[in-house]
Amino acid sequence: MSTLRQALYGFALLASIALLIWAQSQRIEVADQKTGRAQDAADAAIARATRSEQTAAQLQASLQDERTAQAALRSVQDQLRQGLATRQRTIEDLKRENAELRFWADQPLPDAARRMRERPAITGAAAYRDWLSGRGALHPVGD
């Protein structure tokens, strides 16, 4: 019986070794799957980070363009202000030099010109269209 017992022990040992090897292969397989999922998640995160960097670069370029355009607009605005100040000084100089021009400038605007400068508070395109085609229209000079 000792041979049979040794054979059973040997078989039990082989079965336990086979079971250990199978369990270890299962663990390795699960670890490989987890590694694959982790790698996929890392790849997705890298792709999102790359897209975010590209978006940030585009926004930064857009911001720089906006700043450049604002600087150009400020420059044009300054030039326009200088031109307006020069024209106003010229008009004041002409008024001081020419009594006839000063008298003309001191007169109130005619009714037709005053009506042209008067506007109600207009909000939106439809209100502007209604105002243009409504009662605020100018009448011919002969009326």
Q: Is residue 83 part of a domain?
A: yes
* One-letter amino acid of 92: E
What pLDDT sits at residue 113? Answer: 79
What pLDDT sits at residue 107? Answer: 86
Q: Is residue 46 part of a domain?
A: yes
Q: Is residue 123 part of a domain?
A: no
What pLDDT sits at residue 137? Answer: 56
Domain extent at residue 25: 2-108
**1 vs 95: which has the higher pLDDT:** 95
Q: Is residue 140 part of a domain?
A: no
Asked whether the beta carbons of 122 and 131 are under 8 A apart, the reply is yes
Q: Is residue 26 part of a domain?
A: yes
Q: Is residue 87 part of a domain?
A: yes
Q: Is residue 122 part of a domain?
A: no
Query: What mean pLDDT comes out for the span 87-100?
Result: 88
Instruction: Write down the mean pLDDT value for the chain.
Output: 87
Q: Is residue 115 part of a domain?
A: no
Which residues are within 8 A (CB) of 127 and not within 5 positions of it... i.e. 6 or more apart?
A: none
pLDDT over threshold 60, residue 136:
no
Nearest alpha-carbon partner for 59 in 51, 44, 114, 11 = 51
What pLDDT sits at residue 68? Answer: 97
53-62 pLDDT tens trace: 999 999 999 9
DSSP one-letter code for 121: -
Tell me how far apart the alpha carbons of residues 134 and 140 are, in angstroms, rounded to a whole number. 15
1-26 pLDDT tens trace: 688 888 899 899 999 999 999 999 99
Domains held by the chain: number? 1
